[in-house]
Amino acid sequence: MLLVSEPVLGPDEQTALASVIESGWVTMGDRVREFEQAFAHLHEAEDSIAVGSCTAALHLILHALGIGPGDEVLVPSLTFVATANSVLYVGARPVFVDIDSAEIPLMSLDDAEAKCTSRTKAIILVHFAGYLAHRDTWQSFARRKGLLLIEDAAHAPGLPAVGTFGEAAAFSFYGNKNMTTAEGGAIIARSRALRETIRRARSHGMTSSTRQRLTSRRPDYDVTILGFNYRMDDLRAAVGLAQLKKLPEWNDTRRRLSLCYRQLMAEHCPAVMIPFANPWPSAHHLMPVVLPTATDRQPVIDRLRKRGIQTTIHYPAVHHLTFYRELYPDTFLPRTEEFAQRELTLPLHPRMNPADVEQVVNSLAAALGTEFPLGAIA
């Protein structure tokens, strides 16, 4: 089966894990700090904070910024449910915003403006599929409305300018992301004070870590704020360090495969639309396509699977998921809903090559009734 995503793990990661095990220190220690510094350096940031997941990162950012009961946060419905969940975690209300269009499935500025109220305190921008939202536009909007700007950058690690939009950005290292630590995430925050609050909150609000207490030989600590157990361990940080070295090359491979997809699809599946005009700043996390309006998507999925090709959907609209539909039954986002009905995510990861892309396009053309001979493409 040609998978939608597949992590690249090998001897480097095995050696990194063995080294941690041999050291005898597997919790949050020196390798976590080394990973934080390396991740920050890649993004030209002062520092970063490693955490247990991107969900934890979003929760910590909102918590540290003081978002809470009575506040509203603008979020897209075209995202993974964790984006909205993190708002509920702090007692605030997620307000779902429509996408701009099927061609640009990012949060609509016009709809965001229409959804603003006196209770709106922040925006969570999602760089869907790895494609960057327009920074200047959203920064201007946030300043004009007096809103905090947060990036959900789960799909965009290693991309220049990511993490520079507003107060903070959250990243994911889940197994299907551009780089992985199995589970894990990171935060880049502009303010040193905000970073320190987040750093303390990720570990129960404690004033010192176990490693720091060992080094200083002082066993005492204090708890100064409400905190959580959102730490990253040295095992995952070690894997992250190995992966981070390869991330630029992997992102470039994704870029080249995406370009190959666009060229072949334009010639052999012209009725299928690929979002985001090329070029567009992107980490190319996903390969989303939009099927023709009259297409029944499930038979296409089934036909591709029979040919050994996995596909998936990014995403079911969050406001249509049972929990959120019952919580906010009157939400209507026509462009998001149409996109969610027609979107199909094709395989894209660094283990692939152009021949794999040709196989996928050939199979999709066959599934849509426009097959061309395999190997007919130069």
Q: Report the catalytic residues.
A: 177
Amino acid at 361: V
- What the block records as the tokens of 59 is 């929760």
Phi then psi for 274, rounded to 5 degrees?
-105, 120
Query: 99: which strand partners?
Result: 107
Is residue 128 a contact partner of residue 335, using CB atoms and an 8 Å limit?
no
Question: What is the secondary structure of 123-159 as a DSSP string?
Answer: EEEE-GGGBPP-HHHHHHHHHHHT-EEEEE-TT-TT-
Is residue 166 a contact partner of residue 74, using CB atoms and an 8 Å limit?
no
Helix (H, G, I), strand (E, B) or coil at 243: helix
